[in-house]
């Protein structure tokens, strides 16, 4: 499992490497949240 700090660091590195803008990050965040919700529904995991 990736810690919150490592996750934020990875996102920052990806943003720098690919020159992403804040709008791109918002889109990515929405997609990840949707994926997480679907994955939780499939696995029966409870939200934190």
In a domain, 10, yes or no: no
Residues 40, 47: contact at Cβ < 8 Å? yes
Q: Which residues contact 10 (CB under 8 A, 6 or more apart)?
A: 2
pTM summary value = 0.53
In a domain, 12, yes or no: no
In a domain, 3, yes or no: no
Cα-Cα-Cα-Cα dihedral sign, residues 34, 35, 39, 45: negative
In a domain, 26, yes or no: yes
- pLDDT over 90 (residue 17): yes
Domain that holds residue 38: 21-48
- pLDDT over 80 (residue 45): no
Number of domains within the chain: 1
**pLDDT band with cut points at 50, 70 and 90 for residue 38:** confident
**pLDDT band with cut points at 50, 70 and 90 for residue 48:** low
């Amino acid at each position: 499992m990736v810690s919150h700090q490592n996750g934020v660091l990875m996102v920052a590195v990806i943003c720098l490497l690919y020159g992403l803008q804040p709008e791109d990050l918002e889109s990515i965040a929405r997609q990840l949240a949707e994926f997480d919700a679907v994955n939780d529904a499939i696995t029966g995991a409870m939200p934190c």
